[in-house]
């Protein structure tokens, strides 16, 4: 029997793709990005568009990655693209590598200079119109080199964006109760009862919570955290069944429905001045202490590269809020 020489072994390995354990060639980031995009979209055109690459370049990058790794990553047909078994396993690794590279770049940017570069801030719709003017003024005056990019979305979408790295910092109602997220409290604010002019609770003070048991309460659409908070307040008042016949996508519409006599609603104090100014057919009632309230905070990922900056920003914003109808959270820790 002829002996197997080293040359013969290398030749057979080369025919199969790459030599076993070979480390001479390594995949490039462009190849990994191309493969990760295809693994996500399972469509070459959509994948190419998502990373700003031409379709031929993307296809070539994936083929080059298959050559480097010595495994087939995709199963191509005339109608669709599927991940091979090896592709399914390696797609997870590719995404992890790209996430780590992104974290490295974020860390480098944070080290270079504080409060510079882009900051992608996500804000819920029931906070954005009332707090953003203060936030924008603060950033403009104190941090002029900061590129603040604002995204208004509902809570679930914001949390998904934070987890995926699409957003850096959130401004929303807490507690969230989500692992891996740290909250930086800003303020607490009471809810008030907004009614039509002729309502028996209109303009009253010291309203007991149990009055909510008999009221026709108008709510935001599902997905808004303010809707869930209003329902929680009703349950605390002893009302488990809140029939929902009319909803609104935003607070402005909700208040107009109240002005039209369709029911009453709950507004956070920070929204009252803006929203009730739109109509002369509204009255505001105030609950007896302790009034139902919500807490608003910044939230970010545990271990975020710019965690220290977010704490400084939170403390600066607390100082700007003292003239608003909210209770600023004192002695909130500043992360180091």
270-304 pLDDT, tens digit each: 999 888 887 888 999 999 998 889 999 999 999 99
pLDDT of residue 66: 93
Percent of the chain scoring above 70 in pLDDT: 89
Is the pLDDT at 8 greater than 50? The verdict is no
Is the pLDDT at 18 greater than 50? The verdict is no
* Residues 83 and 75: beta-carbon distance below 8 Å: yes
Is the pLDDT at 15 greater than 50? The verdict is no
More confident residue, 214 or 309: 309
Is the pLDDT at 56 greater than 70? The verdict is yes
Is the pLDDT at 9 greater than 90? The verdict is no
Kind plus residue range of the DSSP H or E element containing 172? strand 169-174
* Residues 123 and 151: beta-carbon distance below 8 Å: yes
pLDDT of residue 232: 81
Tell me the mean pLDDT in the region 25-42.
93
More confident residue, 321 or 114: 321
* Residues 141 and 110: beta-carbon distance below 8 Å: no
pLDDT band at 186 (very low <50, low <70, confident <90, very high): very high
**Structure-token pair, residue 263:** 């029911």
What structural domains and CATH numbers belong to the chain?
A: 27-110 (1.10.10.10), 114-187+294-328 (3.40.190.10), 190-293 (3.40.190.10)
Is the pLDDT at 239 greater than 90? The verdict is no
Mean pLDDT lowest among 65-79, 89-103, 142-156: 65-79
Is the pLDDT at 209 greater than 50? The verdict is yes
For residue 299, what are the β-bridge partners? 170, 183
Percent of the chain scoring above 90 in pLDDT: 55
Is the pLDDT at 245 greater than 90? The verdict is no
Mean pLDDT lowest among 157-166, 212-221, 317-326: 212-221
pLDDT band at 228 (very low <50, low <70, confident <90, very high): confident
Is the pLDDT at 21 greater than 70? The verdict is no
Whether pTM exceeds 0.75: no
CA distances from 320 to 31, 139, 205, 317, 326 (A): 47, 11, 28, 5, 11
Rounded Cα gap, residues 123 and 173, in angstroms: 10
pLDDT of residue 231: 79
Residue 261 per-residue DSSP state: T
Q: How many residues does the chain have?
A: 336
Q: Where are the alpha helices (DSSP H) in the chain?
A: 6-16, 29-41, 44-50, 55-69, 85-112, 128-142, 155-164, 225-236, 251-259, 269-276, 307-320
Is the pLDDT at 248 greater than 90? The verdict is no
**Structure-token pair, residue 88:** 């399914």
The label of the residue with tokens 């998904």 reads: 160
Tell me the mean pLDDT in the region 152-175.
94
């Amino acid at each position: 029997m002829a002996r197997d020489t080293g040359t013969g072994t290398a030749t057979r390995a080369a025919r199969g793709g790459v030599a076993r354990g070979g480390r001479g060639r390594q995949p490039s980031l462009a190849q990994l990005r191309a493969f990760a995009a295809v693994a996500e979209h399972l469509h070459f055109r959509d994948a190419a568009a998502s990373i700003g690459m031409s379709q031929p370049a993307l296809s070539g990058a994936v083929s080059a990655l298959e050559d480097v790794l010595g495994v087939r990553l995709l199963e191509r047909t005339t109608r669709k693209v599927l991940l091979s078994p090896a592709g399914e396993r390696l797609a997870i690794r590719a995404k992890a590598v790209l996430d780590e590279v992104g974290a490295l770049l974020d860390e480098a940017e944070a080290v270079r200079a504080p409060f510079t570069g882009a900051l992608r801030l996500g804000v819920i719709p029931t906070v954005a119109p009332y707090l953003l003017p203060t936030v924008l003024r603060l950033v403009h005056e104190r941090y002029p080199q900061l590129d603040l990019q604002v995204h208004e979305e509902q809570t679930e979408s914001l949390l998904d964006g934070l987890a995926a790295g699409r957003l850096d910092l959130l401004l929303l109602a807490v507690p969230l109760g989500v692992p891996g997220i740290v909250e930086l409290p800003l303020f607490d604010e009471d809810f008030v009862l907004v009614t039509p002019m002729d309502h028996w609770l209109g303009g009253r003070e010291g309203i007991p919570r149990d009055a909510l048991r008999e009221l026709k309460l108008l709510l935001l659409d599902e997905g808004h955290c303010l809707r869930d908070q209003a329902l929680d307040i009703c349950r605390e008042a002893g009302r488990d069944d809140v029939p929902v016949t009319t909803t609104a996508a935003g607070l402005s519409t909700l208040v107009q429905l109240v002005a039209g006599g369709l029911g009453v609603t709950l507004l956070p104090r920070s929204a009252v001045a803006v929203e009730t100014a739109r109509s002369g057919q509204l009255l505001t009632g105030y609950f007896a202490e302790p009034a139902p309230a919500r807490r608003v905070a910044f939230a970010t990922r545990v271990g975020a590269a710019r965690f220290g900056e977010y704490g400084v920003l939170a403390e600066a914003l607390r100082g700007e809020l003292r003239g608003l109808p909210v209770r600023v959270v004192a002695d909130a820790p500043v992360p180091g």
